[in-house]
Amino acid sequence: MRRIALVLLGLALGLGVRTGMAQDRCVTRLVVHPENAPVSALSKIEISAGPETSVMHSCVAPETPIRALVLLDSRPSMHYPSSKWSVAMVVLNDLVRSSPSGSQLGLLFSAGAVYEAIPLVDIPTFVRRMDSVSGDVMKLLGPAVSAPATNPTLDEAIEQAAARFPPPQPGDVIYVITDATERDSRRSSGRTIDSLLARGTRLFSFIFVEDYYRFKERALRPEWLMDMTKATGGSWMQYEALTDLDKRKAKETSDSLHRLYSEMHDICEVKFYVAKSAIAAKLKVKATDQKGTAITLEYASRLPGCSP
């Protein structure tokens, strides 16, 4: 009897240890974009987060369609020169044309507050709704534009945009179109990065840069926005808006945008168990194809939170 009791005690202790270990781990999902190869070429992925290393052999398409919220900076600076706003509309329309069927788009304005012009909807519905959205955003938003004391900084607007997603999904995108002409966002951009990483939301940016050459003493260069974009696994494009959008410039811009949108949509996700302590650790990811050739990946600087 004593021997049986000891065996049962050992089993109980072992089960307790394993249960404790399970409670310290969770499932997470990491989204990656291969820069120099199609998604189908990925054969082996090695993920290191803190002391943990996991080797995966599959990276699958997200289970849900890509959702992208466009955050259109609508402050007065975005309307001077007038060509800047015209280019912003071209960029927005190009995104609509480049979005795969099944994906969802939404449109937010940031001026005085963050306003929802179009909620997340499918592409055909978005196109129909765009026809009813006034091109004159200054009139659409009314007196809010003339109340700078209540204006959210750009990083605050990005946080508010991310909060408008229903429960976060791998691959979610905030796409900000802005001239980034402000100083205050640099101070709290680290908090915004933390918020986006916890949600697994990627940031993409289209940045007008002409003011940084004309008003160097007044304007803040957008490195903080680029750093934030990179940290979330997204990408950015700079545009010199002083140049007229002639045929050559339009072609160059369109080609660059298509590369940007490829990074937005050509992704896969890796689902795996990880120690909860590794969620906040710096992330390193390596990938190879079937021949063992290295593939460069874009990914967030650390893992998102545990999946439900």
Question: Residue 234: which residues within 8 A CB-CB, separation 6 or more?
Answer: 173, 202, 203, 204, 205, 263, 264, 298
The CATH number given to 2-62+267-298 is: 2.60.40
pLDDT at 10 over 50: no
Considering only 52-56, 227-231, 273-277, 284-288, which range has the smallest mean pLDDT? 52-56
Of 187-201, 244-258, 282-296, the least confident: 244-258
Distance of CA 20 to the CA centre of its chain: 34
* Alpha-carbon span 271 to 188, nearest angstrom: 31
C-alpha separations of 77 from 155, 181, 305 in Å: 17, 8, 36
Q: What was the pLDDT predicted at 203?
A: 96
For residue 138, the model assigns a pLDDT of 46
Mean pLDDT computed over 217-243: 78
Residue 134: the pLDDT is 55
Q: Which residue has the higher pLDDT, 4 or 195?
A: 195
pLDDT in tens, 74-88: 877 787 777 788 888
pLDDT class for 184, splitting at 50, 70, 90?
low
Question: Which class does domain 67-265 fall in?
Answer: alpha beta
Longest dimension (CA), the chain: 91
Q: What pLDDT does 172 receive?
A: 95
At 127, give phi and psi (nearest 5°).
Answer: -60, -45
9: pLDDT confidence band, cut at 50, 70 and 90?
A: very low
d(CA 173, CA 102): 15
Strongest mean pLDDT among 3-7, 13-17, 92-96, 221-225: 92-96
Averaged confidence pLDDT in the chain: 79
Domains 2-62+267-298 and 67-265 share a fold: no
User: Using omega within 30 degrees of 0 as the cis cutoff, is the peptide bond preceding 124 cis?
Assistant: no
Sign (positive or negative) of CA dihedral 114, 235, 120, 194: negative
Predicted confidence (pLDDT) per residue in 156-165, tens digit:
889 999 999 9
Are the C-beta atoms of 226 and 203 separated by less than 8 Å? no
Q: Enumerate the domain spans of the chain.
A: 2-62+267-298, 67-265
User: pLDDT: is 34 or 220 the higher one?
Assistant: 34
**What is the DSSP track for the chain?**
-HHHHHHHHHHHHHHHHHHHHHHTEEEEEEEEEESSS-GGG--EEEEEETTEEEEES--B--SS--EEEEEEE-SGGGGSSHHHHHHHHHHHHHHHHHSPTT-EEEEEEESSSEEEEEEEEEHHHHHHHHTTS-S-HHHHHGGGGG-GGGPPPHHHHHHHHHTTSSS--TT-EEEEEE----STHHHHHHHHHHHHHHHT-EEEEEEE-THHHH-TTTPPPTHHHHHHHHHTT--EEEE-TTS---HHHHHHHHHHHHHHHHHHHS-EEEEEEEEGGGTTSBEEEEEE-TT--EE-EE--SB------
pLDDT at 251 over 80: no
pTM: predicted TM-score of the whole model, two decimal places = 0.83
Lowest mean pLDDT among 107-116, 187-196, 226-235: 187-196
Section 115-137 average pLDDT: 81
Inform me whether the pLDDT recorded for 144 exceeds 50.
Answer: no
User: Which stretch of 11-20, 58-67, 200-209, 278-287 has the lowest confidence by average pLDDT?
Assistant: 11-20
Q: Which whole number is the average pLDDT over 12-29?
A: 58
Burial of 227 per CB tally in 10 Å (0-12, 13-18, 19+): middle
Alpha carbons 244 and 87: distance in angstroms, whole number: 10
Higher pLDDT, 6 or 94: 94
